[in-house]
Amino acid sequence: MEVTSSTNAASGAGATDRQYSFSNSQLLPDDFMRLMIEELVNQDPLDPVKNESLLAQVSQIKNMETLSNLDKSIGQMTLQQKVLSAGGLIGRQVSGVSTDNANVTGIVVKANISSKNGVTLVTSAGDEINLDDVTAIQEVSGK
């Protein structure tokens, strides 16, 4: 869903055009605040927004901000858990699908963290396996 707002607000020196374009995938709490301010600036003076409606909108913005912060915190905790799990696999034999889409098995020598691939395990043969694509974990005999 795409939301586009175009306003033409009269000012003492002339008209000012403001254009905003938002899509669901990129709405941020600041965007909601801008939309609410635009609504207040452009409201009909003979039919203003009631206090209850204004408070409800402010509450919705605060809830959205809280949920956004919670989502970020959960994402960080998930990443930390994956890093800990990957570190625990160093020295063990893993099987899985490599980042090149090949079935591989090898001993983990390193764990990488990147924004592109997330948490990946690097085997002694140089294969890279995303932590989510590990299918088997095994102790290395002789240890």
Fold of 89-138: SH3 type barrels. (2.30.30)
Q: What is the mean pLDDT of residues 95-106?
A: 94
CA-to-CA distance for 103 and 120, rounded, in angstroms?
A: 15
> Taking a C-beta distance cutoff of 8 angstroms, is the pair 91, 106 a contact?
no
Structure tokens at 133: 């694509």
User: How many residues are recorded in the chain?
Assistant: 143
pLDDT at 35: 77
Which residues belong to CATH 2.30.30 in the chain?
89-138
Side-chain-side CA neighbours of residue 2 (13 Å): 3
pLDDT in tens, 30-45: 777 777 778 777 777 7
> pLDDT-derived band of residue 3, with 50, 70 and 90 as boundaries?
very low
pLDDT of residue 90: 95
Lowest mean per-residue pLDDT among 9-13, 36-40, 43-47, 49-53: 9-13
